[in-house]
């Protein structure tokens, strides 16, 4: 009896996860593709975030770590003109669900900052130019109203929030 | 709930807002342990998530659905990292990657609560996987029918 139950669990897992044809939750098929236009490539893909039908992530598929945007309905990459540049290391992008705003961390000439890219104007704004702290791991709320990220504070990381409507920074509990 | 952890000496990390910008999830570091907390940005108080933090089990890399109903996070089960989903409507957690055998990092839930992306080492280097919870899940969408979220 125990063996039969075990077998049924194994079969369930096989059908629900491995074959992907029956049942949920299941892994969708985004195979590594030879070209550079898919979600995955032969290089590393890191820091995925999903909002609406967009996935943003970083990849070093073209030699340096850049930000990419993938449309899960059209199943192809969307261009981000003016966002990536050769002399900058990009990480941890996050997108609003209307697809207009992408926040990301970038290290340029040894300094880390949080940038907000507007897909309509194709411009990036440095939100942390006046902050002396190191910063990393930004995320934006799906409605675009809040950005949270980590900043170095007396030897450890703490969370700082940027309100995109008020254009002000807040610590938790001090807003 | 009071907020003794606001000025933690040991810091906090991995922030993520709910889609509506109202709730902030993050990992708060203590002297001996860390906790996954959810803060109500409007009411300026932590919200209770009974059962989310378990002794001797990590809970990290949080992300929230639109109204904060679903909390997606990385946890451990039998020496393996797995992705769990905490539903604030039922105050229960469920592992949503049972049987997934490779190393997993950085899960992130779509605001509607249906899709979850994460990093997987299954093909020998980090790739992105997309998990579909299916068409029958209760979606967490603005102006939808899902309003049964406890405060």
Question: What pLDDT, on a 0 to 100 scale, did the predictor assign at position A152?
Answer: 95
For residues A6 and B139, what is the distance between their CA atoms, to the nearest angstrom? 32
For residues A5 and A3, what is the distance between their CA atoms, to the nearest angstrom? 5
What would the pLDDT profile of A75-120 be if each residue is shown by its tens digit?
999 999 999 999 999 999 999 999 999 999 999 999 999 999 999 9
Q: Are B76 and B97 in contact (CB under 8 A)?
A: no
How many angstroms away from the CA of B147 is the closest CA of chain A? 18
* Cβ <8 Å between B11 and A153: yes
Is residue B71 left, alpha or beta, with left meaning phi > 0 and alpha meaning psi from -120 to 50? beta
Low-confidence residues in chain A, pLDDT < 70: 1-22, 34, 175
Question: What pLDDT, on a 0 to 100 scale, did the predictor assign at position A10?
Answer: 55
Question: What pLDDT, on a 0 to 100 scale, did the predictor assign at position B4?
Answer: 45
Give the best residue of A6, A33, A139 to mutate against chain B (max B CB count within 10 A): A139
Question: What pLDDT, on a 0 to 100 scale, did the predictor assign at position A132?
Answer: 94
For residues A121 and A144, what is the distance between their CA atoms, to the nearest angstrom? 16
Give the best residue of B46, B116, B122, B128 to mutate against chain A (max A CB count within 10 A): B128
How many angstroms away from the CA of B28 is the closest CA of chain A? 9
Nearest to A161 among B24, B110, B129 (CB): B24
Nearest to B17 among A45, A146, A158 (CB): A146
Q: What is the bridge-based pairing of β-strands A101-108 and A111-118?
A: antiparallel
User: Percent of chain A, pLDDT > 70?
Assistant: 86
DSSP B61-115: EEEE-TTS-EEEEEEEETTEEEEEEEETTTTEEEES-TT--S-EEEEEE-TTSSE
Residue A108 makes CB contacts below 8 A (sequence gap 6+) with: A87, A88, A89
Q: Which residues of B fall within a CB distance of 8 Å from A16?
A: 99
What's the pTM? Answer: 0.88
Nearest to B126 among A30, A44, A52 (CB): A44
* Cβ <8 Å between A145 and B10: no
* Cβ <8 Å between B136 and A97: no
CB pairs under 8 A between A and B: 153
Give the best residue of A22, A27, A93, A160 to mutate against chain B (max B CB count within 10 A): A27
Beta carbons within 10 angstroms of residue B19's beta carbon:
29
Tokens of A53: 């039908």
User: What are the structural domains, with CATH classification, of chain B?
Assistant: 12-132 (2.120.10.30)
Helix (H) or strand (E) holding B145: none
For residues A143 and B22, what is the distance between their CA atoms, to the nearest angstrom? 10
- Burial of B58-96, coded b for 16+ CB within 10 Å and e otherwise, reads bbbbbbbbbbbbbbbbbbeeeeebbbbbbbbeeeebeeb
Q: Which residues of A fall within a CB distance of 8 Å from B115?
A: 50, 72
Question: What pLDDT, on a 0 to 100 scale, did the predictor assign at position A29?
Answer: 87
Predicted complex ipTM exceeds 0.95: no
Question: What pLDDT, on a 0 to 100 scale, did the predictor assign at position A30?
Answer: 86
Tokens of A55: 């996935």
* Cβ <8 Å between A173 and B129: no
* Cβ <8 Å between B66 and A50: no
Nearest to A50 among B7, B18, B117 (CB): B117
Name which of A112, A160, A158, A154 is nearest A135 in CA terms. Answer: A112
Beta carbons within 10 angstroms of residue B50's beta carbon:
9
Q: Are A69 and A95 in contact (CB under 8 A)?
A: yes
For residues A151 and A112, what is the distance between their CA atoms, to the nearest angstrom? 10
Q: Which residues of B fall within a CB distance of 8 Å from A15?
A: none
* Cβ <8 Å between B133 and A43: no
Question: What pLDDT, on a 0 to 100 scale, did the predictor assign at position A147?
Answer: 98
Question: What pLDDT, on a 0 to 100 scale, did the predictor assign at position B148?
Answer: 41
Residue A32 makes CB contacts below 8 A (sequence gap 6+) with: A38, A40, A41, A42, B123, B127
Taking only the tens of pLDDT, chain B with its 151 residues reads: 444 445 567 899 999 999 999 999 999 998 888 999 999 999 999 999 999 999 889 999 999 999 999 999 999 998 899 999 999 999 999 999 988 889 999 999 999 999 999 999 998 899 999 999 999 999 999 875 444 433 3
């Amino acid at each position: 009896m125990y063996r039969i139950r075990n077998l049924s669990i194994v079969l369930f897992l096989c059908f629900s996860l491995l074959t992907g044809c029956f049942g949920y939750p299941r892994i969708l098929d985004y195979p590594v593709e030879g070209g550079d236009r898919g979600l995955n490539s032969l290089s590393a893909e890191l820091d995925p975030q999903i909002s609406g039908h967009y996935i943003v992530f970083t990849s070093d598929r073209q030699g340096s770590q850049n930000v990419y945007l993938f449309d899960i309905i059209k199943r192809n990459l969307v261009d981000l003109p003016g966002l990536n540049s050769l002399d900058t290391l990009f990480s941890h992008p996050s997108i609003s669900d209307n697809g207009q705003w992408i926040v990301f961390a970038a290290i340029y000439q040894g300094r880390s900052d949080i940038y907000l890219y507007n897909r309509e104007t194709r411009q990036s704004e440095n939100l942390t130019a006046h902050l002396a702290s190191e910063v990393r791991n930004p995320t934006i709320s799906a409605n675009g109203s809040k950005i949270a990220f980590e900043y170095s504070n007396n030897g450890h990381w703490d969370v700082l929030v940027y309100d995109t409507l008020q254009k002000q920074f807040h610590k938790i509990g001090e807003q | 709930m009071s907020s003794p952890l606001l000025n933690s000496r040991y810091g906090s990390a991995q922030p993520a807002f709910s889609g509506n910008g109202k709730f902030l999830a993050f990992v708060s570091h203590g002297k001996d342990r860390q906790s996954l907390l959810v803060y109500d940005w409007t009411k300026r108080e932590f919200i209770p998530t009974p059962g989310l933090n378990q002794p001797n089990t990590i809970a990290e890399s949080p992300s929230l659905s639109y109204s904060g109903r679903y909390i997606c996070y990385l946890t451990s089960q039998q020496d393996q990292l797995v992705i769990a989903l905490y539903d604030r409507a039922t105050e229960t957690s469920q592992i949503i990657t049972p049987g997934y055998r490779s190393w997993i990092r950085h899960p992130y839930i779509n605001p509607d609560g249906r899709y979850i992306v994460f990093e997987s080492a299954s093909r020998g280097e980090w790739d992105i996987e997309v998990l579909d919870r299916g068409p029958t899940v209760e979606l967490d969408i603005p102006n939808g029918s899902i309003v049964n979220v406890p405060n």
